[in-house]
Structure 1
Amino acid sequence: MRQTGVVVSTNENIAILKMQRHSACGSCGGCGMGSENSKNMQIQAVNRIGATKGDFVEVDISTPNVLKAAAIAYVIPLMVLFVGIVISSKVLTAINYRSNVETMSAIIGAFLMSIAFMIIKKNEPKFKKSEEYTPVITNIVE
């Protein structure tokens, strides 16, 4: 996935870029936007080519990495929720839980999903350090 943006600031090999939000981008707030009205966003990108403040640059992140990041952020917690609900429902039924099994299963599933989100958040620095999911400045546009 290739986009363009303007370098706002640099720090060693990391640059902060101001970019227009891609039309496929949702409003999850992951980029720090949180508002549907704003069309601009700021992101961090690896700056191996020495772009400086004010440069108009191309930024690239490979599509498989975008899909992996989306799976980590969305699919894994959703699967944990689903599996938590199914397994807890079977366990509660097997032990003859006398209250509402469906409600308790939903609560257990939501609790397990929140743990999955916390684990992902705790490992976020490791993901950033690997630079696998970080955009890379590939070219300075004249």
Structure 2
Amino acid sequence: MRQRGVVVSRQNGLARVRLVRCAGCKGEADCPFALDLKGEKAQPIEIDAANPIGAEAGSIVQVEGDTNAILTGALIVYFLPLVLMLAGMVIARSLAAARGWGEVAPALIGGGLGLLLWFRVIKIHNMRFREDYRIVAIEQECVGEL
């Protein structure tokens, strides 16, 4: 997956790249607001990317990330909490019903435990799985102050 960004700084073969994306277009190349660094419509994030081509600070670059890594991260962030929360609610409610403890409170507690498990999964994912971004092209050299 390729995105456009501006190199903010560089150090030890890495470059800090500011990716600026609109809410609607997600940074596509033909969007006039994709690199509007001062506009309110832009949503900047900063990543560290390998800089094998030596892009300087201020350059507009194309950054490529592993698509599978990005999709796995999206799955963990958006889908997994719902599944774990619902599974926790169903399991807790079933166990509570078998013991005669009621329905609502155990289901809420089970849902909360499912969400706590999700936080743990995110922590493990963060430690073991780093997205490998790299700069693959320089579109424009040094555009000035950021």
**TM-score, normalised relative to structure 2:** 0.72
The alignment yields a C-alpha RMSD, in angstroms, of: 2.2
Q: Is the 8 A contact 2:91 2:110 kept in 1?
A: no
Aligned to 2:107: 105
Do the aligned partners of residues 62 and 126 (structure 1) sit closer, same or farther apart at CA in structure 2, a change above 3 Å counting?
closer
In the TM superposition, 1:2-41 aligns within 5 A as: 2-22=2-22, 23=24, 37=40, 39=42, 40-41=44-45
Q: Give the % identical residues.
A: 30
Q: Which amino acid aligns with 2:90?
A: V
Stretches of structure 2 lacking an aligned partner (at least 5 in a row):
27-39, 141-146
Match of 1:46 among 47, 50, 67: 50
Larger radius of gyration: 2
d(CA) in 2 for partners of 1:115 and 1:12? 37
In the TM superposition, 1:1-142 aligns within 5 A as: 1-22=1-22, 23=24, 37=40, 39=42, 40-97=44-101, 99=102, 101-128=103-130, 133-142=131-140
d(CA) in 1 for partners of 2:66 and 2:25? 15
d(CA) in 2 for partners of 1:114 and 1:74? 15
d(CA) in 2 for partners of 1:8 and 1:42? 9
Deviation of the 1:12 alpha carbon? 1.8
Q: Which amino acid aligns with 1:110?
A: G
d(CA) in 2 for partners of 1:96 and 1:103? 12
d(CA) in 2 for partners of 1:24 and 1:113? 31
d(CA) in 2 for partners of 1:95 and 1:38? 54
Do the aligned partners of residues 119 and 15 (structure 1) sit closer, same or farther apart at CA in structure 2, a change above 3 Å counting?
same
d(CA) in 2 for partners of 1:48 and 1:125? 25
**TM-score, normalised relative to structure 1:** 0.73
Deviation of the 1:68 alpha carbon? 1.0
Stretches of structure 1 lacking an aligned partner (at least 5 in a row):
26-36
Aligned to 1:29: none
Q: Is the 8 A contact 2:66 2:132 kept in 1?
A: no
